[in-house]
Chain A
Amino acid sequence: MHKALIKKTQDRELIKGFMAGKDHYFDELLSRYKSKIFTTIYLIVKDRSVAEDLFQDVMIKVVRMIRSGKYNEEGKFLPWVVRIARNLAIDHFRKVQRNPIQRESEDFDIFNSVTRAEVSSEEKIIREENARYIRKLIQQLPDKQREVLIMRSYADLSFKEIAALTDVSINTALGRMRYALLNLKKLANESGLPQGYEEKLHR
């Protein structure tokens, strides 16, 4: 199938094709969701290098499961991958609790990792600074609020899907999201705005 056609093909068809041996179909799935999957993992584990490792583990597990016919066609691809990512992240936390390793601060690589389309270097710096700032605010949220916020904002899971995944009611998931958003606003007010943030807000 031509590249342009593949780009318009639905996830379900891509997965069917991949199961039938068309390996290049997975490239499109990877290209479609790699950013969302990685952002979700990164915000959960809070560590860039761990996120890179987990991203590889998650995607390899996804490939294995699809090839072995364990993918449920009824479900959506991204929520399914996020469930796998979440489980692997929990496994990772369990391992870290058993063998704690002190990790260095990772502010060093943030500037290279945030995707930005702007050409202007000044704009780029302001946006990257904002991204780092928002990420730090998110990391200060209580785990349950942070989890819902990440899954809704970055993994594109609906509140219904989040409720099912975290084994709570939709109202509880919504309530956690509400507190997460209110707390983010409160934390932003308390910590002050980064350079260019205020200007951006009023544009």
Chain B
Amino acid sequence: MRIFCAQTNRLAFVLLTVLIATQCFSQTGTQASTDFKFSSVDLKLLEEAVDFDRQLSKKRLVLQDPKLNAYVERVGRGLLGDQPVPERVDFQFRVLRDPMINAFALPNGSIYVNTGLLSILDNEAELASVLGHEITHVTHRHAYLANRSMRKKMVVVDVLQAAGVVGGAAFGVVAVAASALGGIMVTTTVYGYSQDLEREADRNGLEMMSRAGYDPRAMPRTFELLDERLEYEPVEGFYHDHPKLKERRAAMQDLADSMNTKGGRVDTEAEYLSYSAPAICYNIQADLGSRRARTALARAKKLVHWQPQNADYLVLEADAFRALGGKTDVPSADELEKHGQAEHRKRYFKLTAEEEQKELLALPGGREQQRVNFENAEKQYLAAVRLDSRLADPHRGLGFLYEDEARTPDAIREYHSYLQLAAPDAVDRLRIERRASLLEKSLPSAQSGAGR
């Protein structure tokens, strides 16, 4: 699928192979056919799909949030309407815990939307455009068609291998899981079809959402969102490189305009966030864990903008500000240039997160940026404390912040506040106890007492 995939792997050779392959081996688009004949190869693929479903559930990568699950299911079913379900397809709509901006459909009808993708969308119509696109891959048997192309399989196995090699840093968790499974199927379904099949999915998806009463202009808007560049992308993906994404966006804009459907349903961002917020919260944490503080901050700001009085969202925003350290919240023009990207790539692979921060803080600009980011973080943590004085998390964040700023007594005080307020079985109790104890040992006894 890969249209909805903005993060990518980092190995240049894979990119090269993939780009050549996507140019050379395009499968021909099809109409949704009822006369599709299953060969033994197709049945094997179907088995692999079922197995992949099982593995994702077993690894607990499927997000379990009843309200959100019901919402995605409702939007998906709404798009399907009363059209006949193809043979050997059982449509299921699920959300995956994966910060990669991606969605994919398995040939058995399982459609997965990653938390990373849910986080960038602004309304239900955009979600419908994603699901419409994915449903088309199933109804038009794209996975089977792509699977019959041996060359394509080889290419994607290489992609999966690369995912396995570099691990979760640049790839999402599903990529790593897929690489472990290594099923050829995951190939095409997760990592993209030929341009023809993708275009067919765009076209049909747009028509499907229009029929379901959504504003079709949400699809080109979704492409626009996919073009967001907050973080360094090690290597561009199959379809994310600018000209292709821009071309597809323009094509869908023309098609949507030609439909002349005024007043299609979009729904507000607030309505959408009321369902997707748990996925966004999860995703912010995942972004913070994978050196993507800018993305985490952008998503947290979205939540805070929606509910400024929500202390949990303020804490997430503060965490993201703190994680930025000496980094700016948006990339500079230089970083977006080709040479800037190359430089960033070099540093990304060469330096650990800590070393990268150290390098930034060696420069006056980096130190100043950290001061600003830390100031913003403190402001948001304190605002969260004011909103909910019984919430433990902002105290933990303040403790980390003050420790980074070498304000040891303040850090100790905040850690103790956290330990008082947190549940007895809080997962990070031990971690905070250890930190507090280490800091106390580092202080002269009089100060240590004051810290408490």
Bound pair (A, B): no
